[in-house]
Amino acid sequence: MTDNRDTVTNILVCGIGGQGVMTAAEILAQTAISLGYDTKKTEVSGMAQRGGVVTSHVRFGRRVLSPSIPPGEADLLLGFEPAEAMRWATHVRPGGPAMVNTLRLPPPIVSMGLFDYPADPIAEIRKVGLTVYDFDAGDIARGLGDMRLVNSIMLGAIADHLPFEADLLRQQTLDRFRARRPEMVDLNEKAFEAGRRAAAESAARAESSSAA
């Protein structure tokens, strides 16, 4: 995306409680605020406790009147869990990018037998017409030695698809750890860059597949 302050940027973040959905939304919003954007953020569904579904809307631009993204107007979907990303896919504008963690974490309504987990949520998201960047952020986090790194991985994945430089989001992400857990800064920087690579590699796979 390019910087156009007259245009409102709408980012929808969704996942399961405990994955860091709201933290990611806070970091995205804080980055926009630091650049002088009028910024609104809201949690619009689900519950934040571990295991519950969580969704957050982040909107920024020259002037933002409402914190909620109208259906079909999200510019980008950041999905921490594939079935939740599928559930919100129709909220995104046609052709919009969807950054999706493929690690499956079925919510309680599935384990309780109230709903069936979709067989292939990534394929369903593509059917809606979105450009999907899919990768296993959980596997990447395990490789780095800490599952809590999923949040920074997902922020890294979205970093090159925003109307400001990726380094600005990286610095905002790391500043949060400098203030709260300075010993985690280096590891989260590695996670952020791993997320950027994962999104780029997913894009390359998609291009190769379409060209075949």
Task: Give the pLDDT score at 29.
Answer: 97
Task: Give the pLDDT score at 124.
Answer: 96
Res 206 pLDDT > 90: no
Which pair of tokens denotes residue 204?
């390359």
Neighbours of 51 (CB within 10 A): 14
> Nearest-CA neighbor of 130 among 69, 71, 89, 158?
89
Residue carrying the six token digits 């994955």: 19
* Residue-wise pLDDT tens digits, 137-163: 999 999 999 999 999 999 999 999 999
Contact 157, 196 (CB under 8 A): yes
**Alpha-carbon distance 197 to 135, whole Å?**
10
pTM of the model: 0.91
Contact 100, 133 (CB under 8 A): yes
Domain ranges of the chain: 9-205
Domain 9-205, CATH 3.30.230.10 — does that match? Answer: no
Which pair of tokens denotes residue 141?
């986090």
* Residue-wise pLDDT tens digits, 71-82: 999 999 999 999
Q: Which residues contact 86 (CB under 8 A, 6 or more apart)?
A: 118, 121, 122, 124, 125
